[in-house]
Amino acid sequence: MDQLPNLVGLTSADIAAVLEPLVDRGFRGRQVARWIIERNAAGFDEMSDLPKDLRLRLGRSVAISDPVVISEVESADGSHKYLFRLRDGASVEGVAMRDGRKVTFCISSQSGCAVGCTFCVTGALGAGRNLEPAEILGQYRVMLRQAGGAIERVNIVFMGMGEPLLNTKNLGTALDVLTERVSPKRITVSTAGVLPGIRWLAAREKRPKLAISLNAPDQERRAHIMPISRRYPLDALLSELRLFPLERGRRITFEYVLINGFNDSTEDARALAKLLRGIPSKVNVIPLNEDAEHFPELHRPPETTVDRFAAVLHDAGQTATVRWSRGGDVAAACGQLRGRSPAPGYAR
């Protein structure tokens, strides 16, 4: 099966083109595409409106193949973290966060991360490889299947392992497929500030929402915790974002991880509000998710400091919310994904 061409990761048009020599009627390829993309079929046997002999023939010629779930762990808050094994033995993690009939899937774009932010476990573990479109989409497909039940709204965030805008070719294909089923306004791509990638995203016809990992109100401190800021400085990043095309009602999200005694003062909040003035934006204030193994010197501020920081932003006219990450008890929260071995608490 793994040696056969995989239909996952292809758009509807590409699936129809691949299947054209294998079907007797042109509309059959479109039927298969709908089953895979719209109905999330895991195999040809589910395609009840296709003749049985055609399903058997397709199964011998092409595959519908998703990453394998090595393990799944549930957080006390109901989040589910999945460890996926890829075809070459690499592994990545994804997180599903359900709220009633709404679900958010946090998806990885690389099997590691070379950006090296000093407050992120994925970055501390080092670079991996780019994921192929089928490996990106497969996380979504598997987690959607596992979620079960009646889901009315799906949100997808590329905030898992890796820097999405260092994998634009495969990310672009994945977005093309996803937007056949999910509205672009329900998809968010988060970046540490890769300027060529932001320009690439700006040029797309169907643009997802953009989130920027900012984390400091000045270049010196940002470069200290985010080495990528040395290559793409803060002033250049903000200049690029002021040019970014935004659909009506959309804003750029700035993610700001609060680190005790480093970037969490009242003065820092005022400087941040001033820095973002004129950019349609909102700030997600994210208290640091601590990790005693990889960055034991970094700590989360007291809750009073977190609330004060958000309040100062509000008083300065900046939209801001405090985002208390879900899944922290099973290392599924922002900045905690490892992907190389099950975290403590995984079901064996």
Give the helix/strand (H/E) hosting 337: none
- Residue 123 in contact with residue 130, Cβ under 8 Å? no
Amino acid in position 84: F
Structure confidence at residue 332 (pLDDT): 76
CA-based nearest residue to 337, from 135, 93, 75: 93
Structure confidence at residue 163 (pLDDT): 97
Q: Give the span between the Cα atoms of 112 and 338, in whole angstroms.
A: 8
Q: For each of the domains in the chain, give its residue range(s) and CATH number, in order of start.
A: 12-61 (1.10.150), 68-330 (3.20.20.70)
Name the burial class of residue 238, with classes exposed (0-12), middle (13-18) and buried (19+) by CB atoms within 10 angstroms of its CB: middle
Amino acid in position 238: L
Structure confidence at residue 341 (pLDDT): 53
Q: Give the span between the Cα atoms of 93 and 339, in whole angstroms.
A: 5
> Tens-digit pLDDT profile for the chain (348 aa)?
458 999 999 999 999 999 999 998 889 999 999 999 999 999 999 999 999 999 999 999 999 999 999 999 999 999 999 999 999 999 999 999 999 899 999 999 999 999 999 999 988 888 889 999 999 999 999 999 999 878 889 999 999 999 999 999 999 999 999 999 999 999 999 999 999 999 999 999 999 999 999 999 999 999 999 999 999 999 999 999 999 999 999 999 999 999 999 999 999 999 999 999 999 999 999 999 999 889 999 999 999 999 999 999 999 999 999 998 888 888 877 888 887 654 444 333
Structure confidence at residue 124 (pLDDT): 83
Task: Please tell me the pTM assigned to this model.
Answer: 0.94
For residue 73, what are the contacts with CB-CB under 8 A and spacing of at least 6? 80, 81, 330, 332, 342, 343, 345, 346, 347
What angle do helix axes 195-202 and 234-242 make, rounded to 10 degrees?
Answer: 0
Q: Give the span between the Cα atoms of 307 and 96, in whole angstroms.
A: 27
* CA angle centred on 208, ends 78 and 242, rounded to 5°: 120
Structure confidence at residue 348 (pLDDT): 30
- Residue 216 in contact with residue 263, Cβ under 8 Å? yes
Name the burial class of residue 289, with classes exposed (0-12), middle (13-18) and buried (19+) by CB atoms within 10 angstroms of its CB: buried
Q: Which residues, in sequence order, are bridge partners of residue 345?
A: none
Q: Give the span between the Cα atoms of 274 and 306, in whole angstroms.
A: 19
Structure confidence at residue 2 (pLDDT): 52
Q: Give the span between the Cα atoms of 182 and 244, in whole angstroms.
A: 22
Cβ atoms within 10 Å of 106's Cβ, excluding its own: 28
CA-based nearest residue to 255, from 148, 333, 347: 333
Q: Give the span between the Cα atoms of 6 and 66, in whole angstroms.
A: 9
Structure confidence at residue 193 (pLDDT): 98
For residue 332, what are the contacts with CB-CB under 8 A and spacing of at least 6? 73, 75, 79, 81, 93, 95, 326
**Rg over CA atoms, the chain:** 21
> In the chain, what's the furthest Cα-to-Cα distance?
70
Write phi, then psi, for 286 (nearest 5 degrees). Answer: -120, 105
Helix (H, G, I), strand (E, B) or coil at 275: helix
- Residue 244 in contact with residue 210, Cβ under 8 Å? yes
Q: Give the span between the Cα atoms of 87 and 303, in whole angstroms.
A: 43
Q: Could you give the residue numbers annotated as active site? A: 93, 334
